[in-house]
Amino acid sequence: MRAAPGVKTSPDFPVPDTMKAWVLGDPGHVTLTDKPVPVPKRAEVLVRIDAVAICATDLEIIWHGPPASIEGGFAFNKNFTPGHEYMGTVVALGPGVDEYRIGQRVTVEIHAGCGQCKRCREGMYTACHNYGLNYGDVDKGHRANGFTTDGGFCEYQVNNINTLVAIPDGMSDEEATLVVTAGTAMYGLTELGGLVAGESVVVTGPGPIGLLGVAVAKALGAHPVILTGTRDNRLKTGLELGADHVVNVRNEDPVEAVRRLVGGKGVDYVLECSGAPNAVNEAIRMVNRGGKVCLAAFPHEQVPVDIAHIVRNNIYLFGIRGEGKSATHRAEAFMSQKRFDATKIHTHTFALEDLPTALKYARERIEDAIKVVVKARGVAARKMAAE
């Protein structure tokens, strides 16, 4: 890292000038290169990345483009480093930073909004009105590492202090990468959804957000919590994370199953994490009159929705982007108190240099991969062929 006025470092955590970083080329292709280690500015720290989890959204970005936005457009061939679910150690402080100390272990949330738009001022910084405006003469200072600015598939990254969450010594690197996933479920259920203890929840789709959605809903006192999906081993993990009931939609109509379990009126909330074509139409029939449906998956196809049913039944339907209002801090509080064991969704760890193999495992769900983690240190490279 080049020296800069006011930036503090420590001999205990020496910072090199350059680092290994994966960059996105054409769709589906990443290349390992060298980049300068970035320098933290005001209200920023430099994080040495110790572990980074692969998210379904990373796969979207690497193969399709959105929701990443670099210089106002697609992220391909722009020397962009993806990856956003990382944790690590603070190794340099930007000018004036006294909120964190060098050597402190942290995990990160993604969105540092512009801080000046209407939504940022409300704490909804994941819906910042200046998303992606961080370049040239339209620079509003917005950052979303791995989406609009360089992310975590590398050795070091700068983070705004508002995106850091301190973690205890007892939390492993792998578990710490999952705080942000639990934070997304938390944001959907509490800040956006208004869930209170005793309300009933259906989670559709046992991916990482769905499974941790079950865990967070239970930790918040929801009852009952029902998980629907197509794969029995994922549903079994849902039971381990606290689901009261699971429904395999290959064996039973999910709407009928929910009515059988909770009665004909339906549940108070549906957290939709499947992205299945008929998911919204099923969700609005699982939820009771006046109930809420949180949409956390993005399907590729547009689908017809029975809007008349939503209107007649006063159903609230809302999308969720990321994890606003510091939901990650509340998720970390649950996890550090061992209210649920998020590590049940961590299945594989690879060396940073094996990122293409790790992406392949995540994308093709090889060996039933759920959360695949990549580490820059302490994991031997597999040297596996990755096409």
Q: Does 69 bind Zn ion (CB under 5 A)?
A: no
Q: Residue 321: name the closest of 193, 188, 203 by CA.
A: 188
Q: Does 120 bind Zn ion (CB under 5 A)?
A: yes
Q: Does 158 bind Zn ion (CB under 5 A)?
A: no
By beta-carbon proximity to Zn ion, the closer residue of 177 and 200 is 177
By beta-carbon proximity to Zn ion, the closer residue of 37 and 128 is 128
Q: Exposed, middle or buried: residue 287 (CB in 10 Å: 0-12, 13-18, 19+)? A: buried
Per DSSP (E only), the strands in 110-254 are 111-112, 143-144, 156-160, 164-166, 201-204, 225-229, 245-248
Q: Residue 180: name the closest of 55, 297, 47, 323 by CA.
A: 323
Q: What's the closest the beta carbon of residue 159 comes to Zn ion, in angstroms?
A: 15
Q: Does 57 bind Zn ion (CB under 5 A)?
A: yes
Which residue has the CB atom at the shortest distance from Zn ion? 55
By beta-carbon proximity to Zn ion, the closer residue of 120 and 246 is 120
Q: Does 117 bind Zn ion (CB under 5 A)?
A: yes
Q: Does 114 bind Zn ion (CB under 5 A)?
A: yes
Q: What's the closest the beta carbon of residue 2 comes to Zn ion, in angstroms?
A: 29
By beta-carbon proximity to Zn ion, the closer residue of 108 and 249 is 108
The pair of three-digit structure tokens given for residue 86, joined into one six-digit string: 């990382």
Q: Residue 333: name the closest of 165, 172, 202 by CA.
A: 165
**Residue 360 to residue 238: CA distance in whole angstroms:** 24
Q: Does 211 bind Zn ion (CB under 5 A)?
A: no
Q: What's the closest the beta carbon of residue 119 comes to Zn ion, in angstroms?
A: 6
Binding mask 26-55 for Zn ion (x = CB under 5 A): -----------------------------x
Q: What's the closest the beta carbon of residue 120 comes to Zn ion, in angstroms?
A: 3
Q: Does 185 bind Zn ion (CB under 5 A)?
A: no
Q: Exposed, middle or buried: residue 378 (CB in 10 Å: 0-12, 13-18, 19+)? A: exposed
149: which DSSP letter? B
**Residue 329 to residue 335: CA distance in whole angstroms:** 10
Q: Within 13 A of 51's CA, how many CA atoms are on the CB side? A: 22
By beta-carbon proximity to Zn ion, the closer residue of 114 and 335 is 114
Q: Looking at 60-68, 121-129, 237-245, 300-308, which segment touches Zn ion (CB under 5 A)?
A: 121-129
Q: Looking at 19-27, 108-116, 249-257, 307-315, which segment touches Zn ion (CB under 5 A)?
A: 108-116
By beta-carbon proximity to Zn ion, the closer residue of 83 and 238 is 83
Those residues whose C-beta lies under 8 Å from the C-beta of residue 338, and which sit 6 or more positions away, are: none
Q: Does 128 bind Zn ion (CB under 5 A)?
A: yes
Q: 44 has which bridge partners? A: 160
**Residue 63 to residue 57: CA distance in whole angstroms:** 10
Q: Does 324 bind Zn ion (CB under 5 A)?
A: no
Q: Does 283 bind Zn ion (CB under 5 A)?
A: no
Q: Looking at 61-69, 125-133, 222-230, 289-297, which segment touches Zn ion (CB under 5 A)?
A: 125-133
By beta-carbon proximity to Zn ion, the closer residue of 167 and 258 is 167
**275 to each of 43, 213, 279, 293, 305, how far by Cα in Å?**
37, 15, 6, 13, 13
Q: Does 182 bind Zn ion (CB under 5 A)?
A: no
Q: How many residues bind Zn ion (CB under 5 A)?
A: 8
SS3 content of the chain, % helix, strand, coil (to 5): 30, 25, 45
Length of the chain: 387
Q: What's the closest the beta carbon of residue 162 comes to Zn ion, in angstroms?
A: 12
Q: Looking at 60-68, 126-134, 241-249, 279-287, which segment touches Zn ion (CB under 5 A)?
A: 126-134
Q: What's the closest the beta carbon of residue 73 comes to Zn ion, in angstroms?
A: 20
Q: Looking at 111-119, 209-217, 237-245, 362-370, which segment touches Zn ion (CB under 5 A)?
A: 111-119
Q: Which of 40, 83, 88, 113 binds Zn ion (CB under 5 A)?
A: 113
Q: Residue 270: name the closest of 327, 207, 195, 179 by CA.
A: 195
Q: 204 has which bridge partners? A: 228, 272
Can you give the binding site for Zn ion, defined by CB under 5 A? 55, 57, 113-114, 117, 120, 128, 130
